[in-house]
Amino acid sequence: MRRTVAIVGGGIAGIAAAVRIVESGDAPIVIETRKKLGGRATSFTDPRTGHTLDNCQHVLMGCCTNLIDLYERLGVLDRIEWHHSSWWANPPHEPDEMRSSQNWALFPAPAHFTMSFLRMRGLSFAEKRAIGRACWRLIRMGTRGRIAWRGKTFDGFLGETRQPARAIERFWEPVVVSACNLPSAACDASYAMQVFQEGFLANAWSPAIGISTVPLVELYDAAERIIVEHGGELRLGESAKGITYDGERVTGVATESGFVAASAVVSAVPADRLAKLCSVPLRRADRRLRDLEKIKPSPILGVHLFFDAKVMDTPHLVLPGRGTQWLFDKGLDEEGRSHVHAVISGADAWMDLDEAEIVRRVLADVQWALPRAKGLEPVAARSVKEKRATFAVEPGVDEWRPSNAPDARGGVRNLLVAGDWTATGWPATMEGAARSGYAAAAAWTGKGGVLPDVPPSWLAKALGLG
């Protein structure tokens, strides 16, 4: 018997769940408010110009095993360009290149960054030695040591390992705030440590930076096709109003245009949206739904700048110690202008600024970092504020993140909860969203499931990072 599964939300979590559900032989019905799939990781049409812009640059890493698997299933993995280097602005000098050596025999992880890290001119020898000492501690503590830091902020670890202020500003902070969308003083230490342990130190492939070569929205066209061709249904441009519950099971989803009956429901919307979809009896019956309001958001600001001349010489650039954390070279736009995208994570302090002030500040950072931009004004600019960009991985958040499926502590049997904010063990990322969708689908179908992490190198494992 083919069962119908209603999926509320067509972001990456909803797409991941839908793709695995069609593979199992069941039929998903994806209900999505917007006209296209992709959720927060998508593009929009700029009303001022009619151009397609990503709402923000989205970066994945080699360690994102489930997202990479999803892209592969969608047939779009070849649209991701991989970089083994990150470039760190250090004016007036050339940017420092931090490169993960792919000579795994000569430089097995965690030694893969050693040569390029030692060559970086933006950090003094004493700062590098302090960073090395803290990395050694991260390696030796392994996963168990990291879990012991749960509930504390990462700046505590930086203090305990006596990191100089400049090393924090120029190395630790740009990585933590970009990956976790919170500064070290607010971010749960275990998540920041996970970024360094699994993303940087465990193996040489994980730090690879993946960037889409097409607008994000184009990555999901295949998902629409796969769902429909396999007997599923897409209800795009339709909002769910409530998940119906008969006192024992969920029975389907009430939408603005009717009712979708289903054997199971996968919620793949953010926590605040799910709270609106659940009745009081449903929330009382399922302890996973009780603390939804405790999941707090953290903002990201993206700024698109267009110049008449090419200003960047590297595909991307970290701006240590500046308000703007990353710049991405997006190439030429449809009018032949050089498109630079600036990203500010953990952007609370920027949310009340108007666009003119935002552009003024970002331009100052761009001109600080890029000699070719000095004296240049952008011919066009567009800032995109995402106040609820991600959930905040603050200390204690794990207590509120619900499991994807009911567990030994209870839950409504046929209600699955997905989304980057659920208990994936990851910070708010596309990888977390993909994991949650895979886990939710597997809990219902009994097939598939979350893919394992990239294994640590033999040396990393021998040193304790396993």
Ligand X SMILES: Cc1cc2nc3c(=O)[nH]c(=O)nc-3n(C[C@H](O)[C@H](O)[C@H](O)COP(=O)(O)OP(=O)(O)OC[C@H]3O[C@@H](n4cnc5c(N)ncnc54)[C@H](O)[C@@H]3O)c2cc1C
By CB under 6 A, name the binding residues for ligand X.
8-14, 31-34, 39-41, 55-56, 58-60, 239-240, 268-270, 273, 300, 302, 386, 389-390, 419-420, 428-431, 433
> Would you say 179 and 432 are in contact if contact means Cβ atoms under 8 Å apart?
no
- Closer to ligand X by Cβ: residue 226 or 240: 240
Min separation Cβ 63 and ligand X, Å: 11
- Closer to ligand X by Cβ: residue 414 or 436: 436
Min separation Cβ 117 and ligand X, Å: 23
- Closer to ligand X by Cβ: residue 155 or 420: 420
- In 346-410 the beta strands, taken as DSSP E runs, fall at 380-391
Q: Which two tokens stand for residue 215?
A: 């607008």
Min separation Cβ 14 and ligand X, Å: 6
Q: How far is CA 184 from the centre of its chain?
A: 17
Residues 6+ apart with CB under 8 A from 109: 201, 202, 203, 204, 456, 457, 459, 460
Min separation Cβ 307 and ligand X, Å: 22
> Would you say 40 and 63 are in contact if contact means Cβ atoms under 8 Å apart?
no
- Closer to ligand X by Cβ: residue 184 or 422: 422
The phi and psi torsions of 321 (rounded to 5 degrees) equal 80, 5
- Closer to ligand X by Cβ: residue 167 or 397: 397
Min separation Cβ 302 and ligand X, Å: 5
The phi and psi torsions of 57 (rounded to 5 degrees) equal -60, 130
d(CA 179, CA 327): 15
- In 223-354 the beta strands, taken as DSSP E runs, fall at 233-236, 240-245, 250-255, 258-261, 264-267, 297-307, 316-318, 326-332, 338-345
Q: How far is CA 359 from the centre of its chain?
A: 24
- Closer to ligand X by Cβ: residue 107 or 391: 391
Length of the chain: 466
- Closer to ligand X by Cβ: residue 180 or 363: 180
Min separation Cβ 240 and ligand X, Å: 4
Min separation Cβ 51 and ligand X, Å: 18
